[in-house]
Structure 1
Amino acid sequence: MNKALFLDRDGIINIDHGYVYQADQFEFVEGIFELCQHAQAKGFQIIVITNQSGIARGMYGEEQFLKLTDWMKKEFLERQVNITDVYFCPHHPTKGNEHYKITCDCRKPAPGMLIKAAKKHNINFSESFFVGDKVSDMQAAEAAGIENRILVSGKYGDDQAISALRLENVSSIIDHI
């Protein structure tokens, strides 16, 4: 079985400016490339798990998201990091157009994207890590059975109710993987 470093996108890979869907809005978080290089060297697959409710809300389409994702993956490849896969949830339970306004099993805190990734890439959750910046990221990881959870604190509230290693920034994660 394989092990993975699961990463949330907005807030972990890029600075969360809110509904980022164009390359000129995409600003990489300090330390993200070094973290991924380190993890990859230790045998981890890099897999992105991201909610993208901007699609449901009509702010951008799936095509625009996929175009940005391709650009992002190329930026990582230029730094010798292969992103194994990207999973995204375009849904929102209460906002957006009817096609995307649903309660699904993929939107974090549900574990659907993680489970799908594990099946496709033969991932062992007990050897894997999930890095996110929201409690919902940690809830999804917990629901999937990922014990190695890292919450990068700061922008979002944290009621301390879920077990996770809490760190100040992405750069400090390397010491824990």
Structure 2
Amino acid sequence: MGGSLQPAVFFDRDGVLNVDSEYLFEIDKFLWIYGAIEAVKAVNDAGYLAFVITNQSGVARGLYEEADIHRLHDWMASQLAARGARIDAFEYCPFHPDGLVDRYRRVSDRRKPQPGMIMDLLKTFPVDVSRSFVVGDRPSDIEAARAAGLTGHVFVDGNLRDFILPLLANG
């Protein structure tokens, strides 16, 4: 049974895969981080699962709808597919305790720094936790990783592929 487990990389989205522009949901404002598509492909080629875990409080704040997130993630997936890369699952948290939209105004264990999105993926996919890690750009990403029993790596800037390759080699 243990042989069927796969290592995984859990990517934060804004600031890691794409340039973080406040409350991004429009495809025409989306900019891939340098080397991001190549990084996802490197993760795929190394036999790792690739996941996105992203807080999307803009939904709770009334700035956009969940459908907008799905549209953007579908577009990202098609861009990746065109380059032979894939994300195995996109997870997001639309909730925020200070939200303006009633049905999204709440504390959620899926909102980083809580590990809920990671834990849900661990329940759904056969992940080898010991060889998996989170790549984020904020303390909340690293805290979520730690709470889920994973290592967290902070990506600041530069080429994401160059950042990821040594981490995959260590796995």
TM-score relative to the length of structure 1: 0.88
Q: Deviations over 1:107-142 (max 9, x none)?
A: 000000000001101212211121000000000000
Alignment of 1:71-110 (within 5 A): 71-110=75-114
Q: Tell me whether 1:31 sits opposite 2:35 in the alignment.
A: yes
Whole-Å Cα distance in 2 between the matches of residues 37 and 146 of structure 1? 21
Judge conservation of contact 1:95–1:101 (CA < 8 Å) in 2: yes
Higher relative strand content:
1
Among 20, 23, 43, the alignment partner of 1:19 is: 23
Moved runs in structure 1, 4+ residues, more than 6 A?
none
Whole-Å Cα distance in 2 between the matches of residues 33 and 97 of structure 1? 34
Among 142, 153, 156, the alignment partner of 2:156 is: 153
Judge conservation of contact 1:131–1:150 (CA < 8 Å) in 2: yes
Which AA in structure 2 matches 1:143?
A
Which AA in structure 1 matches 2:23?
Y
SS at match of 1:83: coil
Whole-Å Cα distance in 1 between the matches of residues 88 and 37 of structure 2? 14
Judge conservation of contact 2:61–2:100 (CA < 8 Å) in 1: yes
Whole-Å Cα distance in 2 between the matches of residues 105 and 27 of structure 1? 29
Q: Tell me whether 1:115 sits opposite 2:105 in the alignment.
A: no
Among 118, 127, 137, the alignment partner of 1:133 is: 137
5+ long unaligned stretches in structure 2: none
Identity of aligned residues (%): 36
Whole-Å Cα distance in 1 between the matches of residues 11 and 96 of structure 2? 20
Whole-Å Cα distance in 1 between the matches of residues 82 and 161 of structure 2? 19
TM-score relative to the length of structure 2: 0.91
5+ long unaligned stretches in structure 1: 155-167
Among 154, 166, 169, the alignment partner of 1:175 is: 166
| Larger RCO (alpha carbons 8 Å, 6+ apart) | 2
Aligned positions, number: 163
- Aligned-residue offset at 1:169: 5.1
RMSD of aligned residue pairs (Cα, Å): 1.2
SS at match of 2:58: helix
Judge conservation of contact 1:50–1:87 (CA < 8 Å) in 2: yes
